Structure 1
């Protein structure tokens, strides 16, 4: 029995080393559909130092090349703007990724999303940071599907939380 388990562990390790990491695909599941008449445009900036969306045992997965355009499109589809508005909404991405501890037969993962919302107009600037996290443990290994599910869910949750924040709403209507 011990030999079979040892062989299984060795095969798992060889298989894991042989598989090339694939980029994580970000495609938030839903749009929020909020309308802010005072916002004339939305900008998205990726200000993270490590651009990887997943780090497994200290090693970064390949970068997602189109993260900025995907997030910009998603935000533009979620927030209706008005060309006659007076404010620019900037979303500065501060942290976005899954941090995974992969063991032989199990994994533990924590995903985090933090961004800063900035409203700018000729009357001044308002800024606030928002963060959300999600954790999961499971058998075998964490694959891209789990990472993608976490990150896409976090994006939707944090946008909803941010847009429904009374401080944000107050800043919009100032």
Structure 2
């Protein structure tokens, strides 16, 4: 009986790992921020990552998420109200964004990282600063897409709040 339970647990674990690799990670950060910047006329988003996968499990990348730049640009545009008569362009350059997972037989450890660079440009000059945040987690069995998605969506919301509340950013935006 114990042997059957052990075999069932191993098969379930292997199925969960295999099933996890087939689905792309979905990015849908919460709309918790809605800041208005009268001096910003547009928000742009550039994905500058070398590895476009949002999750890497034991060195193997999960399928790419379709339209990440469009999704992120829409989220940023909904989070930052712009003014068509503004004088500045806010560009978000995505430098690193993903979860790196070490999957073992019955457990996982995961580190998720998000790094981006904010750049404000106007006729008077430009200002640039990079921001980064991380999150780690360990757990039983396998890390599924739900955990990866939760990590990445939380990181995105947290980093935007930190960036927009940074005194240096606010000083640059109102210059």
CA distance in 2, matches of 1:153, 1:17: 23
Cross-structure match for 2:94 = 93
TM-score (norm 2): 0.94
What is the root-mean-square deviation of aligned Cα atoms in Å? 1.6
1:48 aligns with 2:49: yes
CA shift in 2, pair 1:16/1:169, >3 Å:
same
For residues 64-112 of structure 1, the C-alpha deviation after alignment (integer angstroms, 9 at most, x for no partner) is: 0111111000000000101110000000000000000001111100000
Q: 1:18 to 1:55 in 2, by over 3 A?
A: closer
Q: 1:115 to 1:5 in 2, by over 3 A?
A: same
Give the gaps of 5 or more residues in structure 2: none
The CA distance in 1 between the partners of 2:117 and 2:168, in whole Å, is 13
> Secondary structure at 1:98's aligned position in 2?
strand
Q: Give the C-alpha shift of residue 14 in structure 1.
A: 4.3
**Structure 1 outlier segments of 4+, above 4 Å:** none
Which residue is 2:171 aligned to? 170
What number of residue pairs does the alignment pair up? Answer: 174
2:132 and 2:159 in contact (8 A); partners too: yes
TM-score by length of 1: 0.94
Aligned to 2:15: 15
* Paired position in structure 1 for 2:82: 81
Tell me which residue corresponds to 1:111. 112
Q: Tell me, yes or no, if the aligned pair for 1:116 and 1:128 is still in contact at 8 Å.
A: yes
Task: Work out whether residues 25 and 149 of structure 2, in 8 Å CA contact, stay in contact via their aligned partners in 1.
Answer: yes
Partner of 2:39: 38
- Distance across 2 between alignment mates of 1:79 and 1:33: 6
Q: Trace 1:91-170 onto structure 2 (pairs within 5 A).
A: 91-170=92-171
Structure 1: tracts of 5 or more residues without a match = none
